[in-house]
Amino acid sequence: MKLVIIAGTPGAGKTSILINTIKILKGTITKPAVVKVDCLATDDDKRFATLNIPVLTGLSRDMCPDHFSIYNLDEMIKFADKNSADTLIMETAGLCHRCAPYTDNCLGICVIDSTSGPNNPGKTGPFLSCADIVVVTKGDMISQAEREIFREKILEANPVCKILDINGLNGQGAAELAKHIIAFDKKVTDRERLRHNAPFSVCTLCVGEQRVSKKYHRGLLRNMNGFQKYIGE
């Protein structure tokens, strides 16, 4: 089973890119299955259903969405297997820019919106810096100069990635992404590891704390001045 993981900021165009790419993949020997993870609600299952391929959606709710995706990876692979797919494409809803959902043997694709400004690639963090392919969307809305600056800033953050410009609305460029997915030849193993670590320690907010005052917080805590300490057992 090939594993393709797609991450990106909300509204960057992950689903649109994916739909255009899958339309092309369907005309090849590839048999794709899609898993879409969202946080609170999704109607993307309806969008994917029109493609006539196996689709599974999951809502992470109270769990961190990237953690949810990784935690359920085995189940997703079983789903793809059962539906005799050979390529599992997983679209995550990763949000915090601090971790990256890619495993060692997946094809990691980061989708980034070029209208988000030239400083954004530097701020996007590991899901851009450890991606294999960076897809730039909405390039038709900004000037050539900004597109070139944006591309340079991506290469500063991730010098080895491939950059593809894709228009999510009309699918221009999606054929190139499909080619990369077809040519990708690593198989997922039962000993997958994440490429990048998540933030350290347990977060008090994650376990339900709502009070703001400093004295209620435990774990790895960092002050505005950069001083960092661990409070807890």
Partner 1 sequence: MEQIRNIKIIGGIDKSGKHENIKCFDIAQGEIIGIVGPTGSGKSQLIADIEQLSQKDSSTRRQILINGEIPSSELRNNPRQKLVAQLSQNMNFLADMNVKDFLLLHAQCRGKSMKNIDKIIYMANQLTGEPIKPKDNLTILSGGQTRALMVADVAVISESPIVLIDEIENAGIKKHEALELLSGYNKIILIVTHDPVMALSAQKRIIMKNGGMTAVIDASPEEKTISSQLSKVDQTMLKLREMIRNGQHIEEKDINQIFLKPTVNNKMATLIHH
The site for partner 1 (CB under 8 A) is made up of 115, 117-118, 139-146, 148-149, 151-152, 154-155, 162-163, 170, 172-173, 175-176, 179
Per-residue burial over 141-151, b if 16 or more Cβ lie within 10 Å, else e, is ebeeeebebbb
Cβ-based neighbours of 216, under 8 Å, separated by 6 or more: 204, 209
Cβ 93 to partner 1 shortest distance, Å: 25
CB of 175 to partner 1, least distance (A): 6
C-beta closer to partner 1: residue 38 or 113: 113
User: 97: how many CB neighbours lie within 10 A of its CB?
Assistant: 14
Closest approach of Cβ 161 to partner 1, in Å?
A: 9
How far is residue 125's CA from residue 211's CA, in Å, rounded to a whole number? 28
Q: Are 109 and 35 in contact, with CB atoms under 8 Å apart?
A: no
Residue 50 vs 170, nearer CB to partner 1: 170
What is the spatial distance between Cα 230 and Cα 199, in angstroms, rounded to a whole number? 13
Q: Tell me 114's DSSP state.
A: G
The least CB distance from residue 138 to partner 1, in Å, is 10
Which of residues 160 and 207 has its CB atom nearest to partner 1 in the complex? Answer: 160
For partner 1, the closer of residues 18 and 164 by Cβ is 164
CB 98 within 8 A of CB 126: yes
Which C-beta is closer to partner 1: that of 105 or that of 172?
172
> Least separation, in Å, of the C-beta of 109 and partner 1?
15
Token reading at 17: 């890119």
